[in-house]
Structure 1
Amino acid sequence: MIKQIECKGTPYEIGLTHGTSASEEITRSIDFYASLFQKTSNRDWSQVTETANTFASLIQEKWPRYYDEMKGIADGSNRDVLDIVALNVRTEIAFGQFSDGCTSLFWHTPNHEWLGQNWDWQKAQAPNLIALTIHQSSLPSIKMITEAGIIGKIGLNSAGVGVCLNAIRAVGLDYGKMPVHLGLRHVLECGSTKEAVEKLEEVGMASSAHMLIADGTGDAVGLEFTSSTFARLVSDDKGRIAHSNHLLAKHDGAVEPEWLADSPKRVSQMRRLAEKSDGEVGWKEFSGLFEDENGFPVSICRAQVGDSTIATLFNVVMDLKAKKAVVRMGRPSETEETIHLDFE
């Protein structure tokens, strides 16, 4: 069963609870990424943390709350703080060597503001996922599914703001800007989509990704970014935004090597499935879209078999108007465990 952890207090205290409660998962997560970095880029963990140190100084200077939380996680799990920083900037350190895949969808309906995604990654990392609740002074409370040790991931907050993540492999890295996973945490501390998007565009992002950001009012933006560009995707005439793992908007000067050949197929399939839906879209109808196996194993509901090296590790469906979410662990067509995240 996925470990559920509730944290509150100062940034350091929040991190200390996280680190103490998830020390085993954090150690396994570090081992997982150490092996992956060695395999994909021939770098040992000491070289990885050396790169993380470049970001550590930036985080300590620009976002000291986040650094203090990472320090608490490190102390709670008996790790060096650079181990925890490395987890939180693993997207930037990887620099295109590896990335998790995903398919996401927002759908505004008369009675619901649906936001959901399948998160696809290597099955070996599944035991290191945790459900994290964070209560902070003067900021919205947060509920998210994250990799142990990482302070920002996929979820929603008590203000009704939710965020999903799609990895993008556009070339470019800026050590002076905000890492992707800190950007996700930034979103989850905002009171609206507008505030979240404007804050990210103001600080700038260190590498490339897509964040699907929405709130309970129906305001949604698919925010694509590289280390030097931003582009906003807005809802279509049916109130929907779908995304996968490639840039959909024009980004001047961006270089994006082909990565997951199935990415265009998945986003097209999600749009086709949504278009077929008639009448009111409830939880059953919306969540069912993520069970699709067209193109198996490289489908929306992905499996780690054959040439597919990653699988869907969880599905999350949020109803932002109601400020609640349902998380299905494992492939949603073969759910292993269901947990509920809500603020009621």
Structure 2
Amino acid sequence: MTLPISVISVSGTPAECGAAYGAAAAPLIAANVRLYLQRFRDQAGLDAAAVRAAGAAFRRASAEVHPRVAAMLDAVAEGAGANAEELYALNGRTELIYGTRHDGDGGCTSIGVLDTHTTTGGTLLGQNWDWHPAQREAMVVLQTRDEHGFEVVTLAEAGMLAKAGLNSAGLGVCLNMLGSDRDGPRAGVVPYHVLLRAVLESDHLGGALRVAARTPRGASLNLLLGQAGKAGEYGGEVIDVEVVPGDLGWLHPVDGFVTHANHIETAVAVHDRQRDFGGASLFRGARARRLLAAIMDDRPDRKVNEEDLKVVFRDHGGYPMAICRHVDERDEPLERAETVFSVLLDLDERRFGLAEGPPCGHKYGFIRLGLS
């Protein structure tokens, strides 16, 4: 089965990749910029001038810290005929909308399973990405091969460079939005989604963790990272990292797997804003752990597969604010959310899987890394 949205495949230097992506996705990028300019006004009180000023600051910081990623994003703007500062603001939408407040129940439930606990012997990552339903119409899968042959495939909001994805080194990432009392505007921070792209440009897990730790940031996020092993030599690895401004905490798999939702589970010394308003995050990660553990308990080898992860991602416990999230019409329109897409990553096979959400009503399609 093919993927449910367009795959944009580009190759070359970062600038060449960005320009080709921008040109191919120009109408979607324009629509997404309009969508977020409206959200910045309605949710953060930012007019176009304020958005561009914030984007200019993000652009300067990105060019200093991650110049190859910045070169790609600059070229996306040129290729799409878009304003570069607005595109940087787009990639920093989490900082701009939620930087000083976090009064929604932004979703996402992530799972990582070590290769020792999968039936195929491959390391698996996956997540449900919960966001505003209208966002589904402005999404792409971006597949790039740089001038050195290094490949990345990732889900992306049009005009952004990354979200959940994997690369040709067998490194993958899933993500969850967090909120802490350290979030907020400050000089020199790199946007959330630029950081994600820099993580996916890493060719080993230690390098990805360096990027996560060393990138100046103004928003809290959770990164579920994994890397495939090498057959006959060593196994894969999975680690979950809660990255807040100025600090980070980490979780390792227990009984072969780790799960995460949208609240802080490590001992980082911040106030978790999820505590201020509650919501489904407080049970979704734990429920995913219980569901996966129950599947393992029913099997002598205690191993799971992609089909088992699909079962978890389609779970309706706590409906409508479940792991498989559905819109609650009682929410304010700007705060309505559902599972927009569900992602499955087989790091050893370099397979990227995607289902339109909520996944209870849709099948997963898969592609493998390898540009034609």
- Using the size of structure 2 for normalisation, the TM-score is 0.87
Per-residue deviation, residues 120-169 of structure 1 (Å, max 9, x unmatched):
01111101010110111236300111101001211111111110010001
Report the counterpart of residue 44 of structure 2 in structure 1.
Answer: 41
Q: Quick one: percent identity of the two aligned structures?
A: 27
- d(CA) in 2 for partners of 1:84, 1:139: 26
Does residue 249 (structure 1) correspond to residue 252 (structure 2)? The answer is no
- d(CA) in 1 for partners of 2:92, 2:277: 20
Report the counterpart of residue 8 of structure 1 in structure 2.
Answer: 11
Per-residue deviation, residues 221-264 of structure 1 (Å, max 9, x unmatched):
1110111111111111x111110001111112445353451101
Structure 1 unaligned regions, length at least 5: none
Match among 331, 339, 343 for residue 365 of structure 2: 339
Does the 8 Å contact 1:14/1:69 carry over to 2? yes
1:113-192 to 2 correspondences below 5 Å = 113-138=123-148, 140-171=150-181, 172-173=183-184, 174-192=186-204
Which moved further from structure 2: 106-115 or 90-99? 90-99
RMSD: 1.8
Which moved further from structure 2: 25-34 or 290-299? 25-34
Per-residue deviation, residues 31-73 of structure 1 (Å, max 9, x unmatched):
1111111111222222111111111112223322222212211
- d(CA) in 2 for partners of 1:343, 1:44: 40
Structure 2 unaligned regions, length at least 5: 230-235
- d(CA) in 2 for partners of 1:80, 1:11: 18
1:271-310 to 2 correspondences below 5 Å = 271-277=289-295, 278-279=298-299, 280-307=303-330, 309-310=336-337
Report the counterpart of residue 267 of structure 1 in structure 2.
Answer: 285
Which moved further from structure 2: 293-302 or 216-225? 216-225
Match among 216, 219, 222 for residue 237 of structure 2: 219
Which moved further from structure 2: 259-268 or 312-321? 259-268
Q: Which amino acid aligns with 1:273?
A: L
3-state SS of the aligned residue for 2:160?
coil
Per-residue deviation, residues 7-49 of structure 1 (Å, max 9, x unmatched):
1112111111111111111111111111111111222222111
Does the 8 Å contact 2:292/2:308 carry over to 1? no
Does the 8 Å contact 1:193/1:221 carry over to 2? no
Report the counterpart of residue 67 of structure 1 in structure 2.
Answer: 70
- d(CA) in 2 for partners of 1:239, 1:158: 24
Does the 8 Å contact 1:52/1:93 carry over to 2? no
CA distance change for structure 1 residues 240 and 262 in 2, over 3 Å: closer, same or farther? same
Does the 8 Å contact 1:226/1:254 carry over to 2? no
CA distance change for structure 1 residues 47 and 326 in 2, over 3 Å: closer, same or farther? same
- Using the size of structure 1 for normalisation, the TM-score is 0.94
Deviation at 1:220, TM superposition (A): 1.1
3-state SS of the aligned residue for 1:101?
coil
Does residue 328 (structure 1) correspond to residue 355 (structure 2)? The answer is yes
CA distance change for structure 1 residues 330 and 96 in 2, over 3 Å: closer, same or farther? farther
Deviation at 1:97, TM superposition (A): 4.5
Deviation at 1:301, TM superposition (A): 0.2
Does residue 194 (structure 1) correspond to residue 201 (structure 2)? The answer is no
Q: Which amino acid aligns with 1:149?
A: G
